[in-house]
Amino acid sequence: MTLAGFLNDPINFVAQWLTGLLTGWGFSNGLITVILYFIGILVLVVFAMLLDIGLVWVERKVVARFQDRLGPNRIGPFGLIQPIADIIKLVIKEDITPAGADKVVFNIAPVLAAMSVISLWAILPLSSKIFGVDLNVAVLYLVAAGALGTLSIIMGGWASNNKYALLGAFRMVANMVSYEIPMVVTLLIPVILADTMSVQGITQAQSGMWFAILSPLAFVIFFISAIAELGRSPFDLVEAESELTAGFNVEYSGMKFGWFYASELLHAFTFGGFMAVLFFGGYGGFFGLEKLSAFHWLTNPFIQAAVFIAKAMFGYWAIMWVKYSMPRIRIDHMLAFNWKFLVPLSLVVLVNTAILNKLLAGLPAWGYTLGMFLSNVIIGVVTIEILRAYGRKQRKSEQTLAQAMRN
């Protein structure tokens, strides 16, 4: 019951202290377990929601800096109280339900959207000792939570009784369902490399070498499909504020819209966290440095959690960087890009990783790393050459067509 005990293993420490306290008050063992679970869930959800409020501030400041302006700086130092002001504004707005809308479905959709994102926090490994649950199918759970999010969008679009909302919802669901395929295929690559589907196992398997170095193409494809899954730019035609009149959430106002917006930001941050876990070593990944006695503090749970959140923030920043630098892609280009380019490429990378993982198993670590990295580079170069040849052919056929029309 010392401070060192708390610093080294916070969750078990608090659980033991609470168990002792509650047994002293006379609760039965089963009830204590249930109460501890509830407290754990509450702490995790509150942490996620507070982080979400911070993300609103981060988003607005970063977009401002990308656009060469300052962002909110009036309320509080550096505009830090701005998200609180936003929340107060959204809460006191009028709660409009459109006429003819399906009231129950209309009101459940934002809740379901938030639920699907927060449920992802159950498997996010903040540290080797701080996590919700160590599922042995955690990677598939990530895909499942995305499926719940898709459902909430279609519920929102349908229940609004508005054909633009419905159209936006259709496009978004088509987008998300299509980009799930390269996402699942590239999610399989860390699973192959780590020989387990559990996120703790994947993090620990990267203590020698990050998977982003072993398979950079997989990371790039996962990055692109994650951005498409989130529905953020450049894949955000579905809620294009300037075109489709904000898509499926056109009829949502006040705090319901606030839930959609907040869950989108938290989803982006959670995907940044998953990119960190799957490809950049999560809370660890110090290339074996933590085994030296001088760096033993790197295995402290709080340091690990800080490292994880820093990496997740970096991933989130990269997602925002792409969002504020690229123009929007049209829906048919989006789907063609997925089915004609990403899906075959991701399948090729998967087969390559699976075969090489077995072939190079006997080599020392540097040989294995070099082999996998080189194979990815070769696939990348070949892909670019194929694309160049395709582009050249297109340009030539257009030139001959233009010449024929001139004559």
Partner 1 sequence: MTADKIIFLLIGVLILVSALMVVTTRKLIHAALWLVAALFGVAVLYAILQAGFLAVVQVVVYIGAIAILFIFAVMLTRRDMRDQGPQTRSNWWIAALLGLLILAGLVFLIINQPDVERTAAVIPAGVDTLRNLGTALVSPDAYVLPFEVASVLLLAALVGAVYIAGFGKKS
Q: Which residue ranges make up the site for partner 1 (CB under 8 A)? A: 30, 33-34, 100, 102, 105, 135-137, 140-141, 143-144, 146-148, 150-151, 154-155, 158, 161, 166, 170, 173, 177, 180, 197
Give the Å distances, CA to CA, from 87 to 54, 93, 246: 12, 10, 20
Q: Which residue, 102 or 243, has its beta carbon nearer to partner 1? A: 102
Q: Which of 46, 51, 49, 74 is nearest to 61 (CA)?
A: 74
Minimum CB–partner distance for residue 71 and partner 1 (Å): 37
DSSP label at residue 99: T
Burial of 304 (0-12, 13-18, 19+ CB in 10 A): buried
Q: Which residue, 132 or 315, has its beta carbon nearer to partner 1? A: 132
Residue 369, helix vs strand vs coil: helix
Q: Both tokens of residue 329?
A: 């892609």
Q: In whole angstroms, give the CA distance from residue 97 to residue 86.
A: 21
Q: Which residue, 111 or 401, has its beta carbon nearer to partner 1? A: 111
Minimum CB–partner distance for residue 2 and partner 1 (Å): 33
Q: Which residues contact 296 (CB under 8 A, 6 or more apart)?
A: 290
Minimum CB–partner distance for residue 141 and partner 1 (Å): 5
CB atoms within 10 A of CB 244: 20
Q: Which of 364, 393, 312, 349 is nearest to 51 (CA)?
A: 312
Minimum CB–partner distance for residue 359 and partner 1 (Å): 18
Q: Which residue, 138 or 212, has its beta carbon nearer to partner 1? A: 138
Minimum CB–partner distance for residue 104 and partner 1 (Å): 8
Q: Which residue, 209 or 350, has its beta carbon nearer to partner 1? A: 350
Minimum CB–partner distance for residue 161 and partner 1 (Å): 7
Q: Is the peptide bond before 364 cis (omega within 30 degrees of 0)?
A: no
Minimum CB–partner distance for residue 245 and partner 1 (Å): 19
Q: Which of 95, 68, 71, 94 is nearest to 83 (CA)?
A: 71
Do 283 and 307 contact (CB within 8 A), yes or no?
Answer: yes
Q: Which residue, 64 or 181, has its beta carbon nearer to partner 1? A: 181
Minimum CB–partner distance for residue 197 and partner 1 (Å): 7
Alpha helices in 137-198 (DSSP H): 138-159, 163-194
Q: Which residue, 135 or 318, has its beta carbon nearer to partner 1? A: 135
Minimum CB–partner distance for residue 143 and partner 1 (Å): 5
Maximum Cα interatomic distance, the chain, rounded to a whole number of Å? 96
Q: Which residue, 55 or 154, has its beta carbon nearer to partner 1? A: 154
Type of residue numbered 4: A
Q: Which residue, 180 or 290, has its beta carbon nearer to partner 1? A: 180
Q: Is 78 left (phi over 0), alpha (psi -120 to 50) or beta?
A: left
